[in-house]
Amino acid sequence: MRKKEAETPVRRSSRLQPEVSSEEMLNNAEAEEQHAPILLLRSSIKAHRLLPAVMEFQPETEPTQPVLEEEPASMPTRTKKIFLQEKDRTVPGEGPERLLTPSSDWRNLRERRILKPMDSAVSKKRMLGNGQKHILWMSFCAYLLPCLLILGGASWYLWEFGTPRSLLVVPAQMHQGWSSFALLWRKWQRKEGCSSHCRFLLVESIPENLKYEREAVHYTSVYQAWMELLEGANSSIDIAAFYFSLRDMDIDVESPLSRQGKNVLEKLLELPSRGVKLSIAVNSPQKPQSDTEDLTKKGADVKYLDFQHLTGGVLHTKLWIVDKKHIYIGSANMDWRSLTQVKELGAVLYNCSCLAQDLHKIFQMYRYLGEEGVSIPHPWPTAFSADSGHTHPLHMLLNNNTAEVYISSSPFALCSGGRTSDLAAILSVIDDAEQFIYISVMDYVPRCQYCNPMRFWPAVDDRLRTAACDRRVVVRLLVSCWSHSDMSMFVFLESLSLLSQEPLGCPIEVKVFVVPANEEQKKIPFARVNHNKYMVTDRIAYIGTSNWSEDYFTKTAGIGLIINQTIATGDSILVRQELEAVFHRDWDSSYTHNLHSKMSCNTEA
C-alpha cells in the first residue's frame, strides 16, 4: 500500500487569494509583456513554481541568458544556481538583470495615462489660481510701495530735522529737503567743472570830501563794481543784506548824494524784465521797506529773516553772487550812504565759480531761515556742508598767483558741516602771523555789548596780547571814532596800548580814524564813519562783515573771506599786499589820531 504523500503547506497569503490556473497565469504574463518587462510579485508559491515555464514564452532571448527549458521544472534550486552563475557573466543592465528590474519610466507613463483625463480641469484651476495670486500680489505691491515711501520719507524727516515743534514748519523743512537734494545734484554736476582761476579786485568807497595824497593808492569804487556786476548779469543775482535803503527816503530833504544808490536800485528793478532772477535775503523787521517792496512788485524773490527770534541778533552779512560765478563780499550795506558817505572796503572775485558755489550754500541757509515758522536745524543737512574751511581751503589762482581760500561764517549755529566759524578764522589768522598784524574795524570791544548784563569777552584781546608780547609780532589796531561809538571801547583800547610801555615793550599800537563832516553832512544819519572790517598779516588777508565784539560772533550772522597767499608770480601784487597798502595809507593819513583817555570823536571838517 502506497504511503500517502504529505500535502504541501499552504501559506496564509495563498489562502486569502483565489486559485489561479496555470493557463490564466500564462495569459496574464503575456498581456503584461506587451507593456514592459515588469516582474510582478508572486501571488503564491504555485506562481513561483510556474515562473520558468512563463519565461519560455519570451519572444527573444539574450545570448548570455540561460536556457531554462533544458532544466527540469522540478529543480528550482539548480535553476537558481545556474541563474546566479550566469548573472556574474552578464553585462550590467542586460539579460535577466534587466528583465527583473522594474521600469520606472513605465510607472510614470502609467500614472500620466491615469491622470490624463484630469489634466485639462486641473490646468484650468491652476490657471485661475495663478491669475488670482498675480492679482493679489500686484494689489499688495500697490499698497506696499506707497507705505514704504511714506515710511522712508518720515524716517528721513526725523533724521534730518527731528520731531517738528509745529505742523507749520513741516512744509518749509520739506522745501529745504528738496533744496538739499537739488544742491547735491548741482554739486555733483559741477564738481569737476567749476572754475578756480579767478580775478581778484579790491574795491572801496571813499566818502565825499575825504582826500588822500595824490600818490596814495586808490582802488575801484564799490559803486562802479556793483554797476558792472548788474549790467553783466545773465541768469541770476543773489543778495544778502542787513537792510535796503538805496533812496534818500529816510531823511527830510532830497540829497543829490543819493544818486548812486538810486542808480543801483533802478538796475535791480530792471533785472526780472531782462530774464535775470533776483533773490534777496534781508534782515527783518526793517524800516523803511519801500525798496524791497518795489523789488518784489517787479518780480524779485525776497525773504525776510527774523534773526532776533532765531539767534538774538541780526543778519549783518553783505554778499552778492552773480550768475553763480562772480561774488562780492565786504562791509558796504545796500545803502546809498555806503557809496558816498561811508568809508567801505570789499572784494570782488570774477569767474570764480568754485568759491561762488560754496558761498551760495550760506545764502541758501539764509533763504531757508526766511520761511515761516522754521528754526535752525542741528545739524544742518549735508547738502549745506562747506566746500572750504580752515583745514580744507580751496586751492586756486588769484590774479595768476596761487592761493588758499575759504569762507567763514557766524554765528556757530549757522556753520554747517566743515564750515569754519568767523571767530575761529580770525583767531587762526592772528596765531599764524609771524611779523605783523594790521587790523581796521569800526568797533573793537572785548565784551558782549548787547548782553544784559554786559560781560567781559577776552577771546580776541588775549590772542593779540599773546602775539605781541610772546612772539613779538607787531600789532597795529585802527578803529573808528564817530557819533555812535561806544566810549567804553577806548578804555579797553588804552589798556591794550599800555603794553607797549617799558618794561614790557610789547609792539602794540592803537589809533582812531575820524571821517570829517561839514554842517550839511552832519544832517545825514549813520554816515561819515570808517566802516571797514579787515585784517592783514605777513601771510594772510581777511575781509569780513562783522564788528569785533562778542555779539557779532555768537548771535549775529556774518561772513569772512580768508586768502592765504605768500608767493607772487613775476611783478604781480598779492592780495595781502594790496590790503597792506590800504592800511598804511589810512594809518599814515591826516584822518588818524593817537589814542587818549578823553576821546571826543570830533568830526568837524
The residue from 533, 551, 555, 586 that is catalytic is: 533
Task: Tell me if the pTM is above 0.85.
Answer: no
* Separation of alpha carbons 365 and 367, rounded Å: 5
Q: What is the pLDDT of residue 196?
A: 87
Q: How far apart are CA 438 and CA 476, in angstroms?
A: 5
Residue 545 and residue 560 in contact, taking contact as beta carbons nearer than 8 Å:
yes
Q: Specify whether 538 is catalytic.
A: yes
Residue 7 is predicted with a pLDDT of: 52
- For residue 162, give the 3-state DSSP assignment: coil
Instruction: List the catalytic residue out of 238, 248, 291, 316.
Output: 316
* pLDDT of res. 150: 83
Domain ranges for the chain? 16-103, 169-594
3-state secondary structure 167-207: CCHHHHHHHHHHHHHHHHHHHHHHCCCCCCEEEEEEEEECC
Q: Catalytic site residue 318?
A: yes
Can 134 be counted among the known catalytic residues? Answer: no
Distances (CA, A) of 276 to 95, 222, 301, 592: 98, 21, 11, 43
The residue from 250, 538, 584, 593 that is catalytic is: 538
- For residue range 456-500, list pLDDT tens digits in order: 999 999 999 999 999 999 999 999 999 999 999 999 999 999 999
Check 248, 318, 443, 555 and give the catalytic one.
Answer: 318
> How much is the pLDDT for 99?
45
Judge residue 71's burial from the number of C-beta atoms within 10 Å of its C-beta, 0-12 exposed, 13-18 middle, 19 or more buried: middle
User: Which among 323, 432, 486, 593 is annotated as catalytic?
Assistant: 323
378 is catalytic: no
pLDDT at 85: 44
Which pLDDT does position 152 carry in this prediction? 80
Give the architecture (CATH level 2) of 169-594.
Answer: 2-Layer Sandwich (3.30)
Helices (H) and strands (E) in the chain, counts: 20, 22
Active site residue 291: no
How confident is the model at residue 66, as a pLDDT?
45
Give mean pLDDT in consecutive 10-residue pieces for the chain, a chain of 605 residues: 50 50 56 49 52 48 45 46 44 47 53 53 57 74 80 71 56 52 46 82 97 94 99 98 92 81 98 98 90 97 96 97 98 97 98 98 98 93 96 96 98 97 98 98 95 93 98 98 93 96 97 94 93 98 98 97 92 95 98 83 67
**Which among 387, 531, 555, 586 is annotated as catalytic?**
531
Contact 168, 372 (CB under 8 A): yes
Is there a catalytic annotation at residue 390? no
Residues 594 and 514 sit within 8 Å (Cβ to Cβ): no
Cα(575)–Cα(154) distance, integer angstroms:
49
Q: Which residues on neighbouring strands pair with residue 560, listed in sequence order?
A: 408, 544
Give the sign of the dihedral formed by CA 341, CA 477, CA 413, CA 383. positive
**pLDDT, position 31:** 54
